[in-house]
């Protein structure tokens, strides 16, 4: 195939991944009509249909699947080699992708990343907010960030933050007509704001600890969120008790907008860790990020 037709294959790969010409165009940074036009030309030259098109969706036909099985890995290899060549430079460069929760991005990551980006103008960083236990290899991420007790054995972890305490809090308006709970059992009589775990889809059980006693308490309430910041906002509005990182609640506790609840049961977890696959070679850009983000550096 002539070299000018390589872009046709890139368009096919994008459409196959996105299952949409519109989303593929956005991914490639081209006009919405271009992917469809490009792939029709490719099909005409090959003499075979590669895609099935309907008014609502796009799917890959058998011939397209066969072509992608051969072509897609080749393009990935080319991208990988180009990235490795870029990394031979003494100056850290290229794009690095990190998956982390929104709280991890705001607290330990961004303050240090802001300094790194100022120091290394050729370095690019993509931050993806995600609460799932993402497979960083399959997701093509360079790093993930999770609490220390949630790491897998096949990763190389680097601590980037101190231990993290979770706090139970509620707004003064919430307690206007309610007594403050004194024990985990009392939580059953309160409106508690739940967090939906994205990995399994069930509600997160509040992990409490007092001395040697450890409890996982399943709470009830009318509100469920899949983001920690929304839970804090709901608590501030007086809609129930929340179980959130203490550093996130601290400004509101200091101002009196939130009150501490059952403080003796607040639990501390191993702090955030940056992790990466121990099966891949670390680039200079990765080493720069690791050193700059390491806790205590």
pLDDT for residue 149 = 79
The pLDDT assigned to 43 comes to 87
Q: Do 164-269 and 94-161+271-293 fall under one CATH topology?
A: yes
Look at the alpha carbons of 137, 143, 144, 146 in this order and tell me if their dihedral is positive or negative: positive
Q: What is the mean pLDDT of the chain?
A: 88
Indicate the domain borders of the chain.
Answer: 3-77, 94-161+271-293, 164-269
Spacing of C-alpha 258 from chain mean position:
28
Q: What span, in angstroms and rounded, lies between the C-alpha atoms of 229 and 160?
A: 21
What's the CATH code, domain 3-77?
Answer: 1.10.10.10
Distances in Å between the Cα of 142 and the Cα atoms of 135, 153, 274, 286 are 11, 17, 10, 8
- pLDDT tens per residue across all 297 residues of the chain: 555 567 888 888 888 888 888 888 887 888 878 888 888 888 888 888 888 888 777 888 888 888 888 888 887 777 766 666 655 555 777 889 999 999 999 999 999 999 999 999 989 999 999 888 778 887 889 999 999 876 766 678 899 999 999 999 999 999 998 999 999 999 999 999 999 988 777 999 999 999 999 999 999 999 999 999 999 999 999 999 999 999 999 999 999 999 999 999 999 999 999 998 876 667 888 889 999 999 986
Q: What is the pLDDT of residue 131?
A: 85
How far is 276 from 286, CA to CA, in rounded Å?
10
Distance, first Cα to last Cα, the chain: 52
pLDDT value of residue 297: 67
For strand 123-129 and strand 94-100, is the pairing parallel, antiparallel, or unpaired? Answer: parallel
For residue 207, the SS3 value is: strand
Length of the chain: 297
What is the rounded distance in angstroms from the CA atom of residue 239 to the CA atom of residue 96? 39
Q: Six-digit token pair at 184?
A: 């985990």
Supply angle C-alpha 54, 57, 63, rounded to 5: 80
- CA-wise closest residue to 206 among 216, 198, 221, 192: 216
Question: Which fold does the domain 164-269 belong to in CATH?
Answer: D-Maltodextrin-Binding Protein; domain 2 (3.40.190)
53 token code pair: 């098109």
Is CATH 3.30.750.80 the right assignment for the domain spanning 94-161+271-293? no
Please give the pLDDT value at position 152.
65
pLDDT recorded at residue 10: 83
**What pLDDT digit, counting tens, does each position of 91-117 carry?**
777 889 999 999 999 999 999 999 999
* DSSP 3-state of 170: strand
């Amino acid at each position: 195939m002539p070299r000018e037709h390589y872009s046709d294959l890139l368009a096919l790969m994008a459409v196959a991944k996105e299952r949409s010409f519109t989303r593929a165009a956005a991914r490639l940074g081209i006009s919405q009509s271009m992917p469809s036009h490009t792939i029709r030309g490719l099909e005409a030259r090959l003499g075979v249909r590669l895609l099935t098109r309907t008014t609502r969706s796009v799917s890959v036909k058998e011939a397209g699947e066969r072509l992608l099985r051969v072509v897609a890995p080749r393009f990935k290899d080319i991208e990988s080699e180009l990235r490795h060549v870029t990394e031979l430079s003494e100056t850290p460069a290229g794009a690095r992708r990190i998956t982390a929760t929104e709280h991890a991005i705001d607290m330990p990551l961004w303050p240090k990343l802001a300094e790194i980006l100022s120091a290394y103008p050729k370095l690019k960083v993509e931050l993806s907010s995600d609460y799932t236990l993402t497979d960083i290899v399959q997701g093509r991420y360079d790093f993930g960030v999770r609490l220390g007790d949630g790491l897998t054995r096949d990763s190389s972890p680097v601590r980037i933050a101190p231990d993290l305490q979770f706090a139970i809090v509620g707004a003064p308006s919430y307690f206007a007509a309610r007594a403050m709970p004194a024990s985990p059992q009392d939580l059953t009589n309160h409106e508690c704001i739940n967090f939906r775990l994205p990995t399994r889809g069930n509600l997160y059980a509040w992990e409490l600890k007092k001395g040697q006693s450890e409890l996982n308490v399943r709470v009830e309430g009318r509100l469920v969120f899949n983001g920690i910041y929304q839970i804090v906002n709901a608590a501030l509005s007086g809609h129930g008790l929340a179980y959130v990182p203490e550093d996130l609640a601290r400004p509101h506790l200091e101002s009196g907008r939130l009150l501490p609840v059952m403080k003796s049961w607040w639990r501390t977890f191993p702090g955030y860790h940056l992790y990466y696959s121990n099966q891949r070679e670390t680039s200079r850009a990765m080493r720069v990020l690791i050193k700059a983000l390491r806790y205590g550096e």
